[in-house]
Amino acid sequence: GENVEQHPSTLSVQEGDSAVIKCTYSDSASNYFPWYKQELGKRPQLIIDIRSNVGEKKDQRIAVTLNKTAKHFSLHITETQPEDSAVYFCAASRGSSGSARQLTFGSGTQLTVLP
């Protein structure tokens, strides 16, 4: 099955700096890569996702890049703010229309933005 590794497990940055979180996956057939943000005691919430036919996607201060050859994808947060502090999870899955996606999650990165 799929295996997703996520690094680093903890990351501290100064407010205004950039943060980068990296994930690698093992199943070359995986074609969907979402990122979730989870605040303490809350449910995971999707912040951005990318599909295997795209190399990069941006949404304001957040971007995700995908390298299918190397089987890794990264989350980039620019101009970090204290409210970006949370645990971030990457995930990967294969799947197509009509079949359920079984997401495999990374172990998470605790991001702390220092004021």
Partner 1 sequence: NAGVTQTPKFRILKIGQSMTLQCTQDMNHNYMYWYRQDPGMGLKLIYYSVGAGITDKGEVPNGYNVSRSTTEDFPLRLELAAPSQTSVYFCASTPSPNSPLHFGNGTRLTVT
Contact 109, 21 (CB under 8 A): yes
Q: Is 74 helix (H, G, I), strand (E, B) or coil?
A: strand
**Residue 53 binds partner 1 (CB under 8 A):** no
Strands 109-114 vs 10-14: parallel, antiparallel or unpaired: parallel
108 vs 113, beta carbon nearer partner 1: 108
Q: How far is the CB of 87 from partner 1 (least distance, A)?
A: 9
Contact 33, 55 (CB under 8 A): no
Number of residues that bind partner 1 (CB under 8 A): 27
In this chain, which of 52, 76, 105, 112 binds partner 1, going by CB under 8 A?
105
In this chain, which of 8, 46, 61, 82 binds partner 1, going by CB under 8 A?
46
Q: Which parts of 22-41 interact with partner 1 (CB under 8 A)?
A: 32, 34
Q: Is the peptide bond before 44 cis (omega within 30 degrees of 0)?
A: no
CA nearest neighbour of 110 among 3, 2, 6: 6
Binding site for partner 1 (CB under 8 A): 1, 4, 6, 32, 34, 42-46, 49, 89, 91, 95-108
